[in-house]
Structure 1
Amino acid sequence: MGTRRKVGIAGAVVGAASAGAAVATLAKRYAVGRIRLRPDLEASEPFGELRGQPVVLTTSDGVSIQAEVDGVEDAPLTVVLCHGYCLSSDSWHYQRRDLRDTHRLVLWDQRCHGASARAHADDCTIDRLGEDLALVLQELVPGPCVLVGHSMGGMTIMALAERRPELFGDKVRGVSLIATSAGKLAEVTLGLPALVSRMVHIAIPSAVSVMRRRGALVDRGREAGTDLSFLALRHFAFGDAKNVSPTLVDFVESMIRGTPSEVIADFYPALMSHDKLTALDVLNKVPTAIIVGDRDWLTPVDHSRAIAAAVPTAQLTTVPDTSHMVQLERPDLVNEALRELLKRAERGNG
């Protein structure tokens, strides 16, 4: 397979390859233009503008981690928010907005994401993220806390549970796992027909290799394909694609586009090999809330059900007509579940 073709596949995998034909390009621009003309209730929402007190932490392998402390300093519980793959702490916009008046919040950009520094490819693992989270708790959380993780952030919490189970029940009083998985992500079909899904899984390793070796070239292709990115993200990340805010889609797309291709490639093997199902028993010691959209193609409902089976004390909430970005698409229901979890954690109820 030639380099040009590989680069094209790499761009498509991250949802940002250019059109390739003038007619297709015009069709996409027309479709996106019509979408943007619709009423947008979130057009004035200050996505990415909410800020707390910045803090920089340095990991044991020398990576600078950007974090923020926000909310009520003397609150009885700290809520630690762990974001997902290709996102940043800004993806917790609605949770920060709604919880900062009642709780102390710690938000952090996982290594290589957001404002945090890049790490060597060998250190882009889920276990390493779990160690980073332990550092965040040690340095920024003096009292009890509740951990909330979306997608890869949920996997980070699982890695912490495996490596530091003694923290759960004392330091960690509650956990929420949102749109995440304990393993077998390599088997996810993305909602595609079986044959197409197999073709995609065959193509991805070559695409990832190109992204790692020729990231700058792939990133230029991503910049050229923003209309395609918008349409693909709207379809895969949001359950109610017809009614989702274009401003919200743009906000999520900007976080993904801001993640270098090399970083996407470096973390991809860790996600595909992630397997922490046997580590989940420790979560039975604390109140646990599992939240997933019923149209999530990336971490399907069955993955959350598998987590719930391993943590029978957990409460599973399936959000209708919602996909992977459930905390942004249906913040009302997610925040309601989080507030209930926080109440249980404050009472010490499992």
Structure 2
Amino acid sequence: MPPIILLVYLFNLVSLAVLAAAGWFGWSWYQGQIVADLEGTLSLVRQDWQLWTALALLGWSFLGRFVVLRLLARGDTVATRPVRADGRTVDGVDGASLYVESVGVPGAPTLILTHGWGMDSTIWNYAKAALGRRYPVMAWDLPGVGRSKAGAPNGVSLSAFAANLRTLILSVDGPVVLVGHSIGGMTIQTVARDYPELLGGKVIGAVLVNTTHINPLRTIVFSPLAQALRIPLLIPLFRLTMLLQPLAWLMGWQSYLSGMAHVANRIGFGRFVTRSQLDHTTLLAIRNPPGVLARGNLAMFEWDATAALPTIPIPVLVLGGTVDIVTKLEASQTIARLIPHARLEVVEGVNHMGFLERADLYNAAIAEFADDLAKPDAYPAQTAAASVH
């Protein structure tokens, strides 16, 4: 989303500037200066400080992330890594190819996990481990990122994501509970808007994690500024990224190595973030094709599912963080107010990636919600009360 994206671009440039400075100091040292002594003899003099400065800047450009991670995040108790389980490929809509991993114990309901934009299904590794001990869990890569491939030219859009999620829902035997973070939550709301017949039948519940119900520019921090920058800055920047994807990718990888990309992505976390969580998130944001990410960001600018929320007939758990600057808590509160059978739970001190930094609380809430779905009176006709952890 724009606050992080703009910082990513800015710190990419800073990282390149550091690398360029290393080259300049190294070249200056190599060139040296021609100096004449008292007898008029000319000699080449090199300044050692220029060499050491060049080496220090060069080292930072390619090894800086190890220092940055120690400065910006705490140590891990349980580390997360972008490690894959055994997966399979499922044919999606309009030529899409969907990468899917299924874990957990047999039974019902099946939890289908949809990740946020710029990530892939490995970001759910904490959730897969915790929830898989009690439920069958399916995690998938959105079309265009991870190991999934987008089909038609409009395959990177909320409507296409929802159509492909529908394919996965129908592929499951028995009922499902949909769980989505950020654009994953937006995809679930798009399913509710475009395929309402699924709700109350195959889909018996949904969990919306740190997400919004409308163009995200309207629910982020500094929203008026973000909306004002949409046409003159954001749209041209994303279209340029699509055009110059190889260059954007190289800049991104260099920024990852220097740690500057980690500095930018740190803004999406609260005070609980660990080093592996920050590195995992940053790596996925760099590894996915920049042009695809730019196309998805443009698609979000035209998206709105607000009108569909009052028609959602199933229980919905809405999880939000008190310091989420990407999809502010007000967005979660609006969603919970508009959906008839919604319950809002607020987690204290977490930002947009709260489901990582407080995975214990988020996963416990999701598990409890899945258990409650078996209780007929668990959700009254109108529930929007908030509980704070």
Could you say whether these structures have the same fold, taking a TM-score greater than 0.5 normalized by the shorter chain as the test?
Answer: yes
Shift of 1:48: 2.6
Partner of 1:230: 262
Q: 1:303 aligns with which of 331, 353, 358?
A: 331
- 2:303 is matched with which residue? 274
Q: What is residue 195 of structure 2 aligned with on the other side?
A: 164
Give SS of 2:205's match: strand
> Which among 72, 77, 80 is matched to residue 105 of structure 2?
72
**Structure 1 residues 16 and 167, CA, compared in 2 at 3 Å: closer, same or farther?**
same
Letter in structure 1 aligned against 2:255: G
Query: Which residue number in structure 2 is paired with residue 210 of structure 1?
Result: 240
Decide which of 27, 49, 56 is 2:89's aligned counterpart.
Answer: 56
Query: Cα offset for 1:94?
Result: 1.2
In structure 2, which of residues 339, 350, 355 is the aligned counterpart of residue 327 of structure 1? 355
| CA distance in 2 between partners of 1:228 and 1:306 (Å) | 35
Amino acid in structure 2 at the alignment position of 1:109: D
1:11-30 to structure 2, matched below 5 A, reads 12-13=8-9, 16-22=12-18
| Equivalent residue pairs, number | 334
**Aligned runs of 1:1-350 on 2, under 5 Å?**
12-13=8-9, 16-22=12-18, 33=67, 35-36=69-70, 40-42=74-76, 45-49=79-83, 51-52=85-86, 54-73=87-106, 75-139=107-171, 141-191=172-222, 198-199=228-229, 202-226=232-256, 227-234=259-266, 236-240=267-271, 243-283=272-312, 285-348=313-376, 349-350=378-379
CA–CA separation in structure 1 for the residues paired with 2:93 and 2:227: 39
Distance in 2, matches of 1:196 and 1:57, equals: 37
* Matched letter for residue 97 of structure 2: S
Gaps of 5+ in 2: 23-55, 380-389
SS in 2 for 1:175: strand
Tell me the CA shift for residue 10 of structure 1: 7.6
Q: Which amino acid aligns with 2:341?
A: T
In structure 2, the CA distance between the partners of 1:102 and 1:31, relative to structure 1 (3 Å rule), is closer
Secondary structure, aligned partner of 1:65: strand
- Distance in 2 of aligned mates of 1:124 and 1:39: 33
- SS of the equivalent of 2:293 reads helix
Pick which of 19-28 and 43-52 moved more. Answer: 19-28
Q: Mind listing any 5+ residue stretches in structure 1 that lack a counterpart? A: 1-8
Once residues 156 and 65 of structure 2 are traced to their aligned partners in structure 1, the CA distance between those partners, rounded to angstroms, is 37
TM-score (norm 1): 0.86
String of CA shifts for 1:10-37, please: whole Å, max 9, x gaps. Answer: 8944864443544899599879616527
**CA distance 1:48–1:35, shift in 2 (3 Å):** closer
1:19 is aligned with what amino acid? S
Distance 1:305 1:198 in 2: 24
List structure 1 runs of 4+ shifted beyond 3 angstroms.
Answer: 9-18, 20-32, 37-41, 118-121, 188-192, 194-202
Letter in 2 for 1:136: L
Residue type matched to 1:33 in 2?
Answer: V
Secondary structure at 1:296's aligned position in 2? coil
In the superposition, relative to structure 1, how do residues 274 and 38 fare at CA in structure 2: closer, same or farther (>3 Å)?
Answer: closer
Q: Is the 8 A contact 2:315 2:342 kept in 1?
A: yes
- Cα–Cα, structure 1 residues 188 and 170, in superposed 2: closer, same or farther, change >3 Å? closer
TM-score, length basis structure 2: 0.78
Tell me which structure has the larger Cα radius of gyration. Answer: 2
Amino acid at match of 2:193: E
SS of residue paired to 1:273: coil
Partner Cα separation in structure 2 for residue 259 and residue 94 of structure 1: 21
Cα deviations by residue, 1:184-242 (Å, 9 ceiling, x for unpaired): 322345458x66884577321121111111111111111121211101111x21011xx
Report SS of the residue matched to 1:251: helix
